Amino acid sequence: MSDGEIGFNNLCGWLKMKHLVLIDTLANTQNMHAAAELMKLTQPALSKMLRDVEEMLGFRLFERLPRSMPTTELGEHVARYARVILNDTEKFVAQTNKLRQGGHGYLKVGTIFAATFIVLPKAINRIKEQRPLLSIEVVEQTSDKLLEMLEQKQLDLMVGRFTGDHHRRIFEFSPLGPEPFTLVVNPSHPLAGKKKIDPTELSEWPWVLYPAGTPIRERINHALADYGIEPPANTVDTISVPTFLQLLLSGPTIALLPVPMVQSHLDTGQLQQLDCDFNVTPLEYGVITRKGEPLSTSARLFAEALISEFAAQKNKKLINAWINETP
């Protein structure tokens, strides 16, 4: 294998899409036989193709172990690149076919759960008025998963929040606003209706929580530490909104959830807010895109619709607050 640097022109001259498919498939299966079956090639043909790629790059992409072929450190870097290119190509094919059929293309949007209750549906309705044949796929996940998908070009844009400072180097962030949280239980919970609950009582009850590593879970852990409260021992971790709501409605469970997510249940009396001095700083969320990469027309219009819709919601709340305060 060559020890020299990889030349851009040389790479463009010999690297083919089938090489990227090979790298991605083998990185996922870590098995030559399984990869050959998926690609409908013989193992000798696949082995030769892999040797050719490694010879051209000048380093091993995969370890040769008795029962598996995990990626090397450099191989992991190349496999990530292959996945990004394949995702981009898949999106290109889908959008091109849609445009040829007279449509407006395809948009894949990632969103945190709170945004799906108010801002996102209204933004979708707004862009559908302009582009009724635009196909939109919505992926609901936690911000850390969405950021990973956005980096790998599995999403066109997302509505969420940063989970680390390093994300600011690779993503653009257009803030929408803070996301307030509230402690909720069902009306039959012993703490429901109780005045001025001591925060130390909270850890005595079952909790349903976002998984460890998510921004809201970290805020909750910090708040518990600030109040000198032991973390609850009886917990369920989930990102499923139906699971959150079912556990809350069916037992003596506590949850700290975004207000937009539970507002309708609070309005109907299915859930109640706890009167407790346990404050978690609101998290700011916004529209996140890849830095240095222009958005497609549809993605740009959708981002503008999100920002406009949030501004309209904010102005509406300010007007209502002014009306309620006016004698």
Q: Quick one: 160 and 293 in the same domain? A: yes
Do 51 and 194 fall within a single domain?
no
CB distance 106 to 133 below 8 Å: no
* 98 lies in some domain: no
Which of these three, 85, 114, 130, is where a domain ends?
85
Q: Is the sign of the CA dihedral 230, 232, 238, 244 positive or negative?
A: negative
Residue 116: inside a domain: yes
Q: Is residue 206 one of the residues assigned to a domain?
A: yes
Asked if 172 and 289 sit in the same domain, the reply is yes
Same domain, 275 and 297: no
Q: What is the pTM of this model?
A: 0.64
- Whether 122 and 240 map to the same domain: the answer is no
Residue found by looking up tokens 């509230």 in the block: 182
Which helix (H) or strand (E) segment holds residue 7: the answer is none
Rounded to whole angstroms, the Cα distance separating 105 from 91 reads 10
Q: How many domains does the chain have?
A: 3
pLDDT tens, N- to C-terminus, the chain (327 residues): 556 688 888 888 889 999 999 999 999 999 999 999 999 999 999 999 999 999 989 999 999 998 899 999 999 999 999 999 999 899 888 878 877 765 677 899 999 877 777 788 889 998 988 888 888 999 998 888 999 999 999 999 999 888 777 788 899 999 887 778 899 999 999 999 899 999 999 989 999 999 888 888 888 888 889 888 888 999 999 988 889 999 999 999 999 998 888 888 999 999 999 999 888 877 788 999 999 999 988 899 999 998 888 777 665 554 444 444 444
Residues 162 and 139 in one domain: yes
> Which of 110, 121, 186 shows the shortest CA–CA distance to 155?
110
16-25 contacts, C-beta under 8 A, 24 or more apart: 17/86, 17/89, 18/49, 19/49, 19/53, 20/82, 20/85, 20/86, 21/82, 21/86, 22/46, 22/49, 22/50, 22/53, 23/53, 23/61, 23/75, 23/78, 23/79, 23/82, 24/79, 24/82, 24/83, 24/86
Q: Are 61 and 54 in contact (CB under 8 A)?
A: yes
Domain contains 143: yes
Look at residue 123 and tell me if it is in a domain. yes
Report yes or no on 327 lying in a domain: no
Question: Is there a single domain that holds both residue 197 and residue 269?
Answer: yes
pLDDT at residue 323 in the model: 40
CATH at 254: 3.40.190.290
CA distances from 175 to 161, 286, 287 (A): 9, 4, 6
Residue 94: Cβ within 10 Å count: 14
Q: 192 and 52, same structural domain?
A: no
Give dist(CA 145, CA 142) in Å, integer. 6
Range of the domain at 77: 8-85
Element (H, E) at 175: strand 171-179
152 and 212 housed in the same domain: no
State whether 193 and 270 are in the same domain.
Answer: yes
